[in-house]
Amino acid sequence: MQLSTILAAKGDFVATITPDATVAQLASDLVRHGVGALVVSADGRTIDGIASERDVVRAVATNISAMEAPISSIMTSRVFSAPPEAHVDELMHVMTDKRVRHIPVVDEDGALIGIVSIGDIVKTRLEELEGERAALMEYITQA
């Protein structure tokens, strides 16, 4: 299954935040949107980085006053992204090998068009497996 199929089902909304916003604002926006990471973007289209709940926890654990620091000081700058034509199997490997939980989806110009999480990937894969199981059960019972 391609990422475009997942985005068609879940929608293309991507919660973003600017690099100069504070870590406190990041934490607030994570809760408000009910997500585990925000794409850091100055213009809402290009990817400057990604900042997650894990980044907030690490920042606070090492510096209690980190909540007033800019997100640019804690974000991950090297972001793995994928085109909408990428397959779920490819992303499972990237997420496992690179230890990332969120992958922004970008068009051919590099503009942000969606985001998938490890939860989206697992849900999709489970649905595929359930479909295969049902097809095999039907085949076996009709033989």
How does pLDDT run across 21-59, given as a tens digit for each residue? 999 999 999 999 999 999 999 999 999 999 999 999 999
Among the listed residues 52, 59, 136, the one whose alpha carbon sits nearest the alpha carbon of residue 100: 52
Domain 3-142 has CATH 3.10.580.10: yes
| Cβ contacts of 10 within 8 Å, gap of 6 or more | 120
Q: How confident is the model at residue 94 (pLDDT cuts 50, 70, 90)?
A: very high
Q: Angle at which helices 53-62 and 23-33 pack, to 10 degrees?
A: 150
pTM for this model (two decimals): 0.85
**CB 49, CB 75: distance < 8 Å:** yes
Among the listed residues 40, 6, 8, 2, the one whose alpha carbon sits nearest the alpha carbon of residue 21: 40
* Domain locations in the chain as residue ranges: 3-142
What pLDDT was estimated at residue 1?
Answer: 86
In eight-state DSSP terms, residue 84 is T
Number of residues that this document lists for the chain: 143
The percent of residues in the chain predicted with pLDDT above 70, rounded, is 99
